[in-house]
Homo-oligomer: A and B are copies of this chain.
Amino acid sequence: MEKIKLGIIGMGNMGSGHFRNVEAGKCPSVEVTAVCDINPQRLETLGEVAAFTDADKMLESGLVDSVLIAVPHYLHPLMAIKAFEHKVNVLTEKPAGVYARQVREMNEAAVKTGVKFGIMFNQRTNPLYARAREIVQSGQLGKPKRLVWIITNWYRTQAYYDSGSWRATWDGEGGGVLLNQAPHNLDLWQWIFGMPKRVRAFCDFGKYHKIDVEDDVTIFAEYENGARASFITTTGEAPGTNRLEISGDRGKIIIEDGKLKWWKLDEAEREFCFSAREGFICPASKYQEFSEPAPEGHPEVLEAFAKSILTGSELIARGEEGLNSLSISNAAYLSTWTDDWAELPVDEELFEKKLAQLREKEKGKPQKK
């Protein structure tokens, strides 16, 4: 069987997890032909595979036709652009980057190079979210009215944040729950429901942990078509909740506890509202429920990436789409920092200026570890 020749850049938690998935045979179209990490200790126990401490050397070696990028967030676009220059296909971890400009530039480089470019939004493989997207995007839910996502089950202890000096710092990670945990949900939000035109967000920084970045967030978003969204996330609540509700002119769907519940109205609410003669009646609806187990996610995204290179089939998430979720989180920071609305696309210059100030300020502080 034909396989892609994959190099993994970054052999930390995520990179070594992907390596093990391939070794375990979960991605039959992938062969890991090289690994790379600036820390040589991380390369010691990986067997026969070629090991590099310099990504450029790996890319120049001719051993790989594709890379999986699993380094700290700021470096995602940098490594991707390097790979594009070598005409090497790229699957990057989320988030796409830390600030919109670098991601936009990465996307432009990808288009120019023409190689395959994917991003590890593994939660898109969950059939319930895929079904939600299908219901919304096909128009079966009618004109969108509202999305509410309470996604507070990203609980993390202080030990988690203390496990790496780059974690939960402006300079090392570029953000907190919005950059590390919630990108999956921000991506699903925009994938299912589309992009808002402006947001008003409320980030609390270091509320539940000894960190500089945000660990508690509420985002309110407005859409051009009149729809509204509320997105609530934190790493400081236990037990958390993961409940997505979307309503439209033709009914409502809720995803919670491994189930998708769907109320489908017999007629459009907007018509019912003005034709009904009574004041207190509701349009009738039919109820359906779906319960479909989610796959692991990571191996499926990697395998689909390999297949798209080998056969031209679809990616699970196109790399360029990483800009969308990042733009929402960039806007959420900007809104909090300016205590005002933030329009989308975000003001890239203002965002970078504010972020640079925070990174600078942090340097004066004692190191976390």
Q: Which residues of A contact B (CB under 8 A)?
A: 145-146, 148, 150, 152, 155-161, 163, 200, 202, 204, 207-209, 216, 218, 220, 222, 226, 228, 230, 232, 234, 236-239, 241, 245, 247, 251-252, 254, 263, 265, 269-270, 272-274, 276-283, 285
A278 to B157 Cα, complex, angstroms: 7
A278–B237 touching, CB < 8 Å = no
- State the number of copies, please: 2
Given contacts A239-B251, A247-B237, A282-B239, are A228 and B216 in contact (CB under 8 A)? Answer: yes
B238–A157 touching, CB < 8 Å = no
B145–A237 touching, CB < 8 Å = yes
What 17 additional pairs, Cβ within 8 angstroms, besides A155-B282, A158-B273, A200-B200? A148-B150, A148-B232, A157-B273, A157-B279, A159-B279, A160-B278, A204-B228, A207-B226, A208-B270, A208-B273, A218-B228, A220-B220, A236-B273, A238-B251, A238-B252, A239-B265, A241-B252
Of the candidates B159, B202, B230, B282, which one forms a contact with A200 in the assembled complex, judged by CB atoms under 8 Å apart?
Answer: B202
A156–B279 touching, CB < 8 Å = yes
Instruction: Point out the residues of chain B lying under 8 angstroms from A163, CB to CB.
Output: 279
Nearest B-chain residue to A231, judged by Cβ: B230
Instruction: Point out the residues of chain B lying under 8 angstroms from A263, CB to CB.
Output: 239
Give the interface centre of A157, A202, A207, A252 by most chain B CB atoms within 10 Å. A157
**5 smallest A-B Cβ distances: which pairs?**
A160-B279, A157-B276, A238-B282, A237-B247, A159-B279
A238–B283 touching, CB < 8 Å = yes
A220–B202 touching, CB < 8 Å = yes
Of the candidates B146, B155, B200, which one forms a contact with A237 in the assembled complex, judged by CB atoms under 8 Å apart?
Answer: B146
Instruction: Point out the residues of chain B lying under 8 angstroms from A220, CB to CB.
Output: 202, 218, 220
B158–A280 touching, CB < 8 Å = no
A148 to B231 Cα, complex, angstroms: 11
